[in-house]
Amino acid sequence: MTNQISKQRIVMIVLGLILILSNIEAHKNSKGIPLADPFILCSNGMYYAYGTSSQEGFKVYVSKDLEKWTPGDTPLGNHLVLQKGVDVWGQSDFWAPEVYYINNKYYMFYSANTRICVATSLSPLGPFKQEKVQPIIPDEGCIDHHLFIDDNGKFYIFFVRFNDGNNIWMAEISSDLQQIASKETWKHCISVSQPWENKMGRIIEGPFVLKYNGVYYLTYSANDYRSSDYAVGYATTHDLSAPQWKKSQNNPVLHRPGKLVGTGHHSFFYDTKGNLKIVFHAHKTNTIIHPREMYISDAQFKNDKHTVSLNISPKFKKAIICNTND
């Protein structure tokens, strides 16, 4: 009887060691998703991750559960959903794509050559193309666009202008997303003003807007993305027609979680269960910036007496792709 128990224990130990070794081997063969400025679209129960990654355009990674990611099987090939020279404007600096599903069509906002562009597709896998191959703001360098649709149906675009460093502005945009309002109507939102924001350069960028209980939350990243102290903060207002943005005293709300550095240029999305999530990039390691990689964490609005704050969980998950042939 004793010998039988010992054999069972040995078998269990061996099986345990095999499982541990297989997990180690799987981890060796896995790698982070090399997307900076990440954006996740949830469409028809699937998640599509886009971001800055290639001078040839934009790639996509796909997941059913936010756990296992695979390179997208796209018509353009090489996982590209938008490709330089294929009916799109821009020759370099393809940055920060965001994709929205509106009126049975997918719209991709992106920057190239420091100009904001919009391309469309009938599929989240692309190809994204432009009917008129041109930027929507042709006469001024602007980047880091974000589309926000208010409850009243008005469309707004938030973006970065290069005056007094990088700072965030907003403007109305037509419902077909092709015409931005005249510059006389543009509104300044925020510039560098809090001490944590100018550790490296006068840079406020990567806007993303949420609305909760009638309050608008303008989230953003500050410092040069190459700084280990690149981080996320937010400001609030009750009115977009004449906004007076007030920055949170809790800023930064995402800064060096765990052992990560250079965390920022994020976007928010709701998962298939209705939970609010944030996706952001971080430096490759504490000493190596590129390629920046994608991480996901939980976010929530927290009621505290007479105030509501936006909280981001310090517990994050690294987005992993196990196909090392990518």
Assign 149 a pLDDT band (cuts: 50, 70, 90): very high
Kindly tell me if the per-residue pLDDT of 269 is higher than 90: yes
Q: 40 with 267: CB under 8 angstroms?
A: yes
Kindly tell me if the per-residue pLDDT of 10 is higher than 60: yes
Summary mean pLDDT of the chain: 92
Average pLDDT over residues 283-309: 95
- Give the number of C-alpha atoms closer than 13 A to the C-alpha of residue 21, restricted to the C-beta side: 6
Average pLDDT over residues 224-233: 98
* pTM for the predicted model, two decimal places: 0.91
Q: How many domains does the chain have?
A: 1
Q: 91 with 112: CB under 8 angstroms?
A: yes
Kindly tell me if the per-residue pLDDT of 211 is higher than 70: yes
Q: 282 with 292: CB under 8 angstroms?
A: yes
Question: Any idea what the CATH number is for the domain that residue 180 is in?
Answer: 2.115.10.20
**Helix/strand/coil for 69:** strand
Residue 46 lies in a domain: yes
Q: How far lies 236's CA from each of 200, 262, 276, 321, in Å?
A: 24, 24, 18, 36
Q: 91 with 132: CB under 8 angstroms?
A: no
Q: What percentage of the chain carries pLDDT values higher than 90?
A: 88
For residues 209 and 266, give the distance between their C-alpha atoms in angstroms, rounded to a whole number.
Answer: 11
Average pLDDT over residues 255-263: 98
Radius of gyration for the chain, computed over Cα atoms and rounded to the nearest angstrom: 22
Torsion sign over Cα 110, 185, 138, 198:
negative
For residues 263 and 255, give the distance between their C-alpha atoms in angstroms, rounded to a whole number.
Answer: 6
Residue 326 lies in a domain: no
Higher pLDDT, 7 or 63: 63
What's 252's DSSP letter?
-
| Adjacent-strand bridge partners of 278 | 268, 297
Residue 174 lies in a domain: yes
Average pLDDT over residues 161-189: 95
Kindly tell me if the per-residue pLDDT of 320 is higher than 70: yes
Q: Which range marks the domain in which residue 197 is found?
A: 2-25+34-321
Residue 161 lies in a domain: yes
Kindly tell me if the per-residue pLDDT of 37 is higher than 50: yes
- Give the number of C-alpha atoms closer than 13 A to the C-alpha of residue 151, restricted to the C-beta side: 9
Residue 67 lies in a domain: yes
The whole-number pLDDT of residue 307 equals 87
Kindly tell me if the per-residue pLDDT of 91 is higher than 80: yes
Strands 68-71 and 320-321: parallel
Assign 73 a pLDDT band (cuts: 50, 70, 90): very high
